Structure 1
Amino acid sequence: MMPRSLLARTFLLLALLVLLTTTAWLSLFRYLEAEPRARDTARLAASTVNLVRASLLAAATDKRPRLFEELGSREGIRLLPAEADDRLTPLPDTRFHRLVLRELTASLGPHTRVATRVNDEPGFWISFRLDEDDEDEFWLVLPREQAAHNVAGHLLSWGLLAVILALLVAWLIASRISHPLQAMAAAAAAVGRGQMPEPLAASGAEELRRLAGAFNAMASSLERHEKDRSEVLAGISHDLRTPLTRLRLEAEMSIGDDNARHGVIADIEEMEAVISQFMDYARDESGETPIPTDLAALLRDVAERKRAAGYRVHLAPADLPELELRPKALVRAVTNLIDNAIKYGGGEVWLQAAASTDAVSIDVIDHGPGIPPAEAERLKRPFTRRETARSGPGGTGLGLAIVDRIARLHGGHLDLLPHPDGGLIARLILPLGPRLYKLR
């Protein structure tokens, strides 16, 4: 039932505090105000009854009907004779009305009756007698509002205004706490995708400023570490290629035994392949400009090149939308998945793609030993290999890491799923829409 965001939760708690405080204040005011208001109401009603009684006693008997008319027309007071069969509706059983009845009884005598309706006619009905020993009884009917207990309208208006202002201040307080945290959460998510976000503004409370400064320092350190690692990998890979080329030329010219020569050249080629993977991982793919790309044609070209190299790659045709892609990076990712499937999956590979409402998925399928689901995420990390099933001693552990990096570069992700008939489904998911990121 509680909202999930910090802004909503903080505002809800502050608003609840304001409402409870205002309700308690109004309840206390209503309780304290009831007794003096009830006393004033009873005194006014008793004074009216006493004045009317004095007027009737002073007037001649034949003049009393005329006096009744005058009081009704000029003062809004009605006088009616009380009957034995009158049907009475008593005052509501509230503290205010109990106080009014107590004060009227004390002022007018124990025989006083008070009602809100007599014979279904509404009003503030008060009974009295001209004399204590007189059997005749009269009803004095006052406006019904005099017996109502309502908190003054202007007080309610000021209370409502105070609540609104308090809620606005509560929203301001909650937003000043949550907005920096939201910005930090977005920046942390960007760092998790490999991006370098803009530095966070060090503003607000001291704790938030220190947190923003620490996060900026961490992000800067990660960027510097990633840049240093890429430069080291690129430098080492570049420096190794020259001696490897000399070794290959020396092997071809100096080794007379064909088997030995081919073995040395195969080792050199494997070393060059390892260096190529290092270079691919160190390369900043985000430097490539995204362009509208025919994904179906791109996959067809990759499959044809692999077939021309003698590999069995089966392409399932599909109707795919045109996407904003970095085509060289995507070709490298699909090629890595196909090479991985050829090396560890038995040599026969199926390449297929499909489009949904919000994404395009590219599947590279083989029927090799597969990858246990518990190992899938670990094997996408750099320099991670699984010796027993899908990796041999010549692997670098960078192939899947490169594909995962390129997937995140396009706002997507890589899934390694078990095939129902055995083997592996390497699924590259690319979202539809402008979600291309710049990785650092």
Structure 2
Amino acid sequence: MKSLYLRIYLTVVAVLLLFAAVSGWVFQRHLEQERVRVEGLVGDRTAAWGDLLQRALPGAEAPADEQAMAVRDWSQRLRLALALDDPAGQRIVATDLFLRRQAEEGARVASVKLDDGRTLWIVRPRLRPGGPVGGPGGPGGEPPGMPRREGRGGPHDELPLPFAPPGLPRGLGVVVFLSVLFAAVAAGAYPVVRRLTRRLESLKKGVERFGAGQLDHRVEVTGRDEVAAVAASFNHAAARVEALVQSNKSLLANASHELRSPLARMKMAVSMLDEVGPAQRAQLKREIETNVAELDALVEEVLLASRLDASEAVDRRERVDLLGLAAEEAARVEAEVDGPALQVQGDERLLRRALRNLLENARRYGGSEVKVEIARVAAGAELRVCDRGPGVPEAYRERIFEPFYRLPGHAEQAGGVGLGLSLVRQIAQRHGGSVRCEARPGGGSVFVFSLPLA
């Protein structure tokens, strides 16, 4: 489970790293495009200022003081950092603003060569991303068509990041921002991933405890996601397995008890075969054959009950003529059949077994007067097996469908109840139906077997 936790967390981290790398590349490209755009605007404006000042300043033949005074005047008017060199390269004047700005880190100084040989120096304004270029005037105020002049920029000629602390080297602001973003998302993803894997670990421990034999153990279901669905499915499956195991244990215990009676009778009959005459020997053989048949029927019922316990629905479905099926089985016990022809959907073999068990139970306890009635009801079809036996007290009408349950006073009766009625209920439930026991008017019992119509 730790490896799963690490895989999930490392996947989240890898996705974040990829996102940060792609975002940084896209953002850096955007900054570069913006820098080029603004650099072009600044270059055009610098050229326009140079042309303006060339027209406004005194000529090169004017006294140096007059030229210096004019440069200071235009520096104040335009709020520009200006300096002027004569044709020989000697500095005529440098304004105080020029000296201060030139001393700043990352100052970008542009030179404009005037027509008379003098050189005008202008400290470019700082770049502001996404906005107009700083300085006097506004966008479009410079004369059009002015050529861009190259300046003496440095490695810091770039747009400052609006979210980065001032003074960071080139690109470091992006790295800092993405690093903080990555750390925040990674820290936020940790408890989410840990909670998910913790629930999976709890589910794993629950499965291990169940596999170790604690069939009553269930896992906690929290949330509404796929993990909760898996936990709920496990609990459902665990409950089903526990019920099957308990049912098989009970079935095995009861079957073992039921096997003792015919085995004991067979043992006694076999031991008496050599001690009795021919007539009694024939009777003992018939009794042995009866007990063998009873054992065979009991084993068959146990196997069928186990198969029905292992499935929640029938394996195959086909259209079954309920009236024809009832007529065939009723003929075996000489019972009457009455009702319309109805079609149901199900396993004919299992439905035949259920009807046969009901008829044999009615003949065993209800005497010779057994009747089968078929009727259409709102919910489907009803098959009613009626007898004139002693009836079943209301308090026991549900318990008689339990495996190997016997009514009080019937414990020693040959044949017993066994699994017959329990199988009838299982077959009915697997077909989406039900079975119940009712009192018959005039005495006796009515077993109502309900099925949905085809």
TM range (shorter): 0.3 to 0.5
Q: Name the TM-score, length of structure 1 as normaliser.
A: 0.43
Greater Rg over alpha carbons, structure: 2
